[in-house]
Amino acid sequence: MLGAFSTNHLFYLLNGLLWTVVLSALAFVLGGIAGFFVMLARVSRFRWLRRTALVYIQIVQGTPLLIQMFLLYFGLGVFGIAVPPLVAAGLGMMVYSSSYLGEIWRGAVESIAKTQFEAAECLGLTRWQALRDVILPQALKIATPPTVGFLVQLVKNTSLASVVGFLELTRAAQVINNSLFQPFLVFGFAALFYFCVCYPLSVWSRSLERKLNAGRR
Amino acid sequence: MPAAVRLTNVVKRFGALEVLKGVSFEINTGEVVALIGQSGSGKSTALRCINRLEAIQDGSIEACGHRVEDPKLDLRALRRDIGMVFQSYNLFPHMTVAQNIMLALRRVKNMPKDQAYEIAEQVLANVGLSEKIDNYPEQLSGGQQQRVAIARSLAMRPKVMLFDEVTSALDPKLTGEVLRVMEDLARGGMTMIVVTHEMGFAKRAANRVIYMHTGKVWETGGSDILSNPQTPELKEFMAEEL
Amino acid sequence: MQYQFDFGALVPYWKDFLSGALTTIEIALFSVIIGMGIGVACAIARRSNLTILRGIVGVYIETVRNTPFIVQIFFIFFGLSSIGFRLPIIAASVFAMVINVGAYTAEIVRAGMDSIHPSQIEAAEALGLSRFQIYRDIILLPAIERVYPSLSSQFILMMLSTSICSQISAEELTGVANNIQSNTFRSLETYFVVALIYIAITYLMRAAFFGLGLIAFPRRRRLGLGL
């Protein structure tokens, strides 16, 4: 049985893993930038901005990622834009990341006591300066463990890009399985590769969390 | 009359640290004994060994006829006879005062609900908190919570009651109500071992005082040793306490 | 823009939308109930004194939490098929979901149990309660109450991931949507409607959890605390 699964197949899977990592990085960076603005909107002084961001988040977090990808894939298609799978997947994951990262970062910012804001403003700093010089540096430390934790979710969710045809690890495994018909072996290897990427990140996130709590006392 | 509680050469270690270095004392039925000493003297540890919250490495403990250090000891039978009240009240926050008191009665003594409720009413009246029977712990003050904790232990009708610094975590204003309940218990004839820093309580209510120092029984006697300490360590301790 | 929206084309399929939604809820409900049971059992196992038990359960939890659900469901469904166990699709979906949910729930519940202060357990021991009684009366309910918001969020996320079951041809909401859009060629409208239905289901679940919380935690109800 193992004879049919050759090193060529293994390399095919590894290639898929590479694209998984690429998509994850893309989604994290782009989603992170968008998420930063989502966070700003959520803590803004303007009620309409806060409301809009909230609705955005509730919609994105209230629908399956798969449906979001379909909407983008077919949606952009009907407007005449030919969407390669990477773009559809990337866009879908970017929207998804922006909402979750936005919420995580909002939580971190809001956990910095109001008094810090007041102290900064008493010194004459503008709201934006207070945010940039006082709040954000502190929020960064608090936000890091859950952000790393989210990265694990992100990598796992790139597996859904396979459904819109993007050739990442899960799709690669499907392709191989369709010719070899050895699902335990093929998907087993795929799971192993995902595990090798995600588990270290999970461990890192937990250790960051512990260090943060120890420092807080 | 056989002693209610007897410790003989008890040795207790936490890893490499020896906290009890051969402790021996006896408590008779109906006696109220105050166990005093600095933090680290081993007094709380000795108390916790009596109802097997801590296991000893050497020596023996006999309590209400149970051999506490015996690994085959029926723990639940031991704890039916010995009640314990802690420094942080340990009331169960998700249960009302009544439910807190009834829990052990129903689970350990298999009492039916209404019988357990009656006992809860009785013991709450003993500590003066009848009207709080359906409240949740967070609605009570620290002193009230501690009195409920005492009532909860009392409901099990123990033969001996252990008190581990039960007023140390309370606001000074609230210690009085708890100490009054304890003095009532003492007058009622309950056998009590009280680890405490409240020297006033020790003078008023204790038949005997045991002073512990560096894991050993250093000096014992009636409550007069508090005003007339014999050993220099106890002299120094009393001077600091005032 | 040449595209003409035509939601009318979807109307004849209203029964399919409904059936898809019900299947999604059905899968989610079974998975929550069974998954919760497994989660609690695993949480208790993770706190046991037996190193082997802790280790086995730990491997299970870490494996599930660090691999994607779609790979898990393919592994289970196609894997079992390849050795002759052709499970009915809904059963396979629930099976895969339960394994997935159990692992996440276990971690959440364990965090809740660990947050019960040891002095509570000591007080219960001093009263003579047995280990089993302590778990049942002192640890379990307060632990679940503490992590209730996390648990509800997790279960709602899980309901959303039932959409992945469409990939093994389950006729839940996403699967139904795929069928309808391939018949009508109205993909945008179909997925839009389905997105709205999912959002509606999340509100339904939130309301259900709120109500359940009021029933299960009488203290919060009486003291007027939020959930």
% of chain C with per-residue pLDDT over 70: 97
Fill in the DSSP letter of residue B42.
S
- What average pLDDT does range B144-157 have in this prediction? 92
Region C185-204: what's the mean pLDDT?
92
Chain B residues in contact with C128 (beta carbon < 8 A): 75-76, 78-80, 104, 108, 156
Do the chains contact at C122 and B92, CB–CB below 8 Å? no
Nearest C-alpha neighbor of A163 from the set C157, C73, C195: C73
Question: What's the distance, CA A67 to chain centroid?
Answer: 16
Contact present, A47 and A110 (Cβ < 8 Å): no
The verdict on domain A2-216 having CATH code 2.60.120.620 is no
Q: What is the pLDDT of residue A215?
A: 62
pLDDT given for residue C86 in this prediction: 87
For residue B98, the domain's CATH number is 3.40.50.300
Cβ atoms < 10 Å from Cβ of C113: 21
CB contact under 8 A, C137 and B107: yes
Task: Parse chain A into domains and list their residue ranges.
Answer: 2-216
> Do A75 and C68 lie within an 8 Å CB cutoff?
no
Q: What is the mean pLDDT of chain C?
A: 91
Residue numbers in A near C149 (CB within 8 A): none
Q: Which of B53, B91, B103 sits opposite C126 (nearest CB)?
A: B53
CA distance A157 to chain C (A): 7
Q: What domains can you pick out in chain C, each with its CATH number?
A: 12-223 (1.10.3720.10)
Residues C25, C90: contact at Cβ < 8 Å?
A: no
Query: Chain B residues with CB inside 8 Å of C130's CB?
Result: 76, 107
Whether residue C196 is predicted with pLDDT greater than 60 in this model: the reply is yes
pLDDT, position B63: 92
ipTM value, please give it: 0.88
> Structure pTM?
0.81
Whether A68 and A92 have beta carbons less than 8 Å apart is answered as yes
- List pLDDT tens digits, range B12-37: 999 889 999 999 999 999 999 999 99
Handedness of CA C19, C23, C29, C30 (dihedral sign): positive
**Position A3 confidence tier, pLDDT thresholds 50, 70, 90:** low
Domain encompassing residue B168: 5-241
Q: Which residues of C touch B83 (CB under 8 A)?
A: 126-127
Contacts of C180 in chain A (CB under 8 A): none
Secondary structure element (H or E) that encloses residue B26, with its range: strand B17-27
Check residues A216 and A213 and name the one with the higher pLDDT. A213
CB contact under 8 A, C67 and A74: no
A1 pLDDT exceeds 50? no
Residue B1 pLDDT exceeds 60: no
Closest CB from C126, C133, C142 relative to B79: C126
Q: CA separation (Å) from C46 to A201, C41, C155?
A: 21, 9, 21
Quick check: C119 and B86 in contact, CB under 8 A? yes
Please list every residue in chain A whose beta carbon sits closer than 8 Å to the beta carbon of residue C65: 152, 198, 202
Residue of C nearest to B48 (CA): C126
**What is the reported pLDDT for B2?**
66
Instruction: Tell me: pLDDT of B108 over 90.
Output: no
On average, the pLDDT of chain B sits at 90
Question: Which residues of chain B from 112 to 151 reach within 8 Å of chain C, CB to CB?
Answer: 136, 138-139, 149
Compare CB distances from A199 to C66, C177, C191 and report the shortest one's residue: C66
Residue B156 to residue C127, Cβ atoms within 8 A: yes
Which of C62, C174, C187 lies at the smallest CB-CB distance from A64?
C174
Residues 6+ apart with CB under 8 A from B151: B101, B120, B123, B124, B126, B127, B129
> Is A138 or A67 the better-scoring residue by pLDDT?
A67
Total number of domains constituting chain B: 1
For chain B, what percent of residues have pLDDT higher than 70? 99
| Per-residue pLDDT at B77 exceeds 50 | yes
Could you give the CA distance from residue C120 to residue C134 in angstroms, rounded to a whole number?
A: 9
The Cα angle at residue B8 between residues B7 and B10, in degrees rounded to 5 = 85
Percent of chain A topping pLDDT 70 = 96
pLDDT band at C99 (very low <50, low <70, confident <90, very high): very high
Nearest to B177 by CA among B201, B195, B152, B153: B201
Question: Which residue, among B6, B3, B11, has the nearest Cα to B54 in the 3D structure?
Answer: B11
All residues at 6 or more sequence positions from B236 whose CB lies less than 8 Å from its CB, including other chains: none
- pLDDT tens track for A108-129: 888 876 777 777 777 777 777 7
Q: Whole-angstrom Cα distance, residue A4 to residue B7?
A: 74
Residue with tokens 């005093």: B36
Q: Which of C75, C192, C199 sits opposite A183 (nearest CB)?
A: C75
Q: Once rounded to an integer, what is the mean pLDDT over residues B165-175?
A: 89
Give the pLDDT mean for A165-173. 94
**C53-79 mean pLDDT:** 96
Nearest CA-CA distance, residue C85 and chain A, Å: 13
pLDDT, position A6: 84
Q: What's the whole-number mean pLDDT along residues C166-180?
A: 94
Angstroms from C113 CA to nearest CA on chain B: 14
Give dist(CA C171, CA B206) in Å, integer: 77
Interface test with C, best of A5, A23, A74 (most C CBs within 10 A): A74
Contact C124 B92 (CB under 8 A): yes
**Minimal Cα–Cα distance from B207 to chain C, Å?**
25
Token pair listed for B36: 């005093």
Predicted confidence (pLDDT) per residue in B191-237, tens digit: 999 999 888 899 899 999 999 999 999 888 888 888 888 888 888 88
pLDDT higher than 90, residue C160? yes
